[in-house]
Amino acid sequence: MKKLIAAAVTGLLTTGAASAQETLEMTSAFGKNLPILGTAAIDFVENINGISSEVEFEHFDPGKLVPALEALDAVSSGSVDAAYATSGYWQGKINSASLFAAVPFGPEAGEFLGWVLYDDGAKYWQQMYDDNGYNVKALPCGVIAPETSGWFKKEINSVADLEGLNMRFFGLGAKAMQKLGVSTSLLSASDIFPALERGAIDATEFSMPRIDARLGFHKIAKFNYFPGWHQPSTLFELLVNKDVWDDLDEKAQKQIEVACLATITTNLAEGEATNYAAMVENVDKNGVTIKEWPPEMLEAFEGAWNEVVAELSAGDPFFQEVWADLQEYREGYAVWNSIYLPRK
C-alpha cells in the first residue's frame, strides 16, 4: 500500500526539468524499530524520497542528532533541519501544545483531522509556534487511534488508589492526573522500561497495545486499563526549520505536504489493523489483565480535566481562543457524528 501511494503521486509531482536536490537531516522522536510510531517517520522519508527530485530527507533516530525532547529547539535554531515528533512533547514549554497532539476526552482521529485540515486547526498550530518565537514550519504528518489508559503494577479500584503514584504521562492528561494526586513525568520511549524496572515510576502510559508490547511494559505492570481517555487520538507533526522551508521551491514544499498526507493514511490504518492481535497476546501469553475504567473513575478523570481547561483558559488567551474554536467545531461535528452510526 505504501508503494502504491508513492507511485500514484510520482507522475504528478516529479514532472518537469530536474533541479539540484537538497538533503535535509531529520531527527525522529521515535526509534525506527518502534512499530507505528517509529515506522511512520520511516514511511514519510520513503514517501518523500520516492516522489521528489527536489528534496531528500535523511532519517536519524532519537539521540543520534539530538534527544527526542530537544527536537523543537534544535529545528528552530537550525542545528537540525527537520524533526518528526508530536507537539505534546513541548507541553512544558507551551500551554497549548497538546491541543495539536492529543486532547483528553477530545476528538477521535477522523474528527481531529477534520479540524486540522478543513477548519482552523492547522492555522492555529502554526500560529502557536510563530507567537512563541519558534522558527519552524509545522505540518500535520501522522495520526493514531486511541491509546490505552495506562499500565499499572497494581489494580486501581478508586481515585484513592491513584494518590501518591509516580507515573509517566503525556501532555495535558498529565495535568489532570496531577489533580488526582499522581506525580507525573514525561519520559521518552527508551527511558520508560528502565524507570519501571527500578521503581522510579509505579505506572506508565505510552501508546497503543502493539507499540507498548515492543517496549515490554507487560513484563512489569500486569494491569492494562482502557479507554485511553487522555488520548482518544494523537497527531504527529513534521517540523522544518523555517529558513530551510522558505528556501525550498513551491514544488518541493507541495511534495512534502503530499508525503505527509500519505503518511497520515498509512499511520492510522496500520494502528487500526494490528492492535487487536497485541491485546490477545497480552492476555493469552503475557499474563496481562485488561481492565475497563468504571463510570465513576471516568467521571473523576473528566472532572479533573475540566478543572485543567478552566485554569489554562483563564491564564492563557491563546489557549482560550484555540479551545473555543475546537469546541465550536466539535459542536458542529456532533450533528453528523450523533446520527451517522448506530449507538450501542
Q: Hey, what's the cell of 281?
A: 497476546
Domain ranges of the chain: 2-145+232-273, 150-230+282-337
pLDDT band at residue 343 using 50, 70 and 90 as cut-offs: low
Q: What average pLDDT does the segment 267-276 reach?
A: 95
Q: Is the pLDDT of residue 24 over 60?
A: yes
Q: What average pLDDT does the segment 122-133 reach?
A: 98
pLDDT band at residue 15 using 50, 70 and 90 as cut-offs: very low
3-state secondary structure of 279: helix
Q: Across the strands, what pairs with 236?
A: 142
- The residue type found at 157 is N
CATH superfamily of the 2-145+232-273 domain: Bacterial extracellular solute-binding protein, family 7 (3.40.190.170)
- The residue type found at 47 is N
Q: Give per-residue pLDDT as tens, 158-213.
A: 999 999 999 999 999 999 999 999 999 999 999 999 999 999 999 999 999 999 99
3-state secondary structure of 2: helix
Q: What is the DSSP string of 232-258?
A: SSEEEEEEEEHHHHHHS-HHHHHHHHH
Helices (H), 241-343: 242-247, 250-284, 295-315, 317-337
State the fold for domain 150-230+282-337: D-Maltodextrin-Binding Protein; domain 2 (3.40.190)
Q: Is the pLDDT of residue 344 over 90?
A: no
Q: What average pLDDT does the segment 110-132 reach?
A: 98
Q: Which of 189, 240, 234 is nearest to 83 (CA)?
A: 240
Q: Contact, 120 vs 264, CB < 8 A?
A: no
Q: Is the pLDDT of residue 14 over 50?
A: no
For the four alpha carbons of 93, 171, 24 and 66, in that order, the dihedral sign comes to: positive
Kindly state the helix (H) or strand (E) to which residue 71 belongs, with its residue range.
helix 71-77
pLDDT band at residue 342 using 50, 70 and 90 as cut-offs: low
Q: Give per-residue pLDDT as tens, 45-97.
A: 999 999 999 999 999 999 999 999 999 999 999 999 999 999 999 999 999 99
Q: Do the first three CATH levels of 2-145+232-273 and 150-230+282-337 match, i.e. the same topology?
A: yes
pLDDT of residue 16: 41
pLDDT of residue 2: 53
Q: What average pLDDT does the segment 255-278 reach?
A: 96
pLDDT of residue 341: 63
Neighbours of 129 (CB within 10 A): 24
Residue showing cell 497485541? 278
pLDDT of residue 20: 67
Q: Give per-residue pLDDT as tens, 208-254.
A: 999 999 999 999 999 999 999 999 999 999 999 999 999 999 999 99
Give 54's DSSP letter.
S
- The residue type found at 300 is A
Q: What is the CA radius of gyration of the chain?
A: 20
pLDDT of residue 300: 98
Q: Is the pLDDT of residue 335 over 60?
A: yes
Q: Is the pLDDT of residue 17 over 50?
A: no
Q: Is the pLDDT of residue 9 over 70?
A: no
Q: Is the pLDDT of residue 304 over 90?
A: yes
Residue showing cell 485511553? 228
pLDDT band at residue 1 using 50, 70 and 90 as cut-offs: low
pLDDT band at residue 116 using 50, 70 and 90 as cut-offs: very high
Q: What percent of the chain has pLDDT over 90?
A: 91
Q: What percent of the chain has pLDDT over 70?
A: 93
Q: What average pLDDT does the segment 322-329 reach?
A: 98
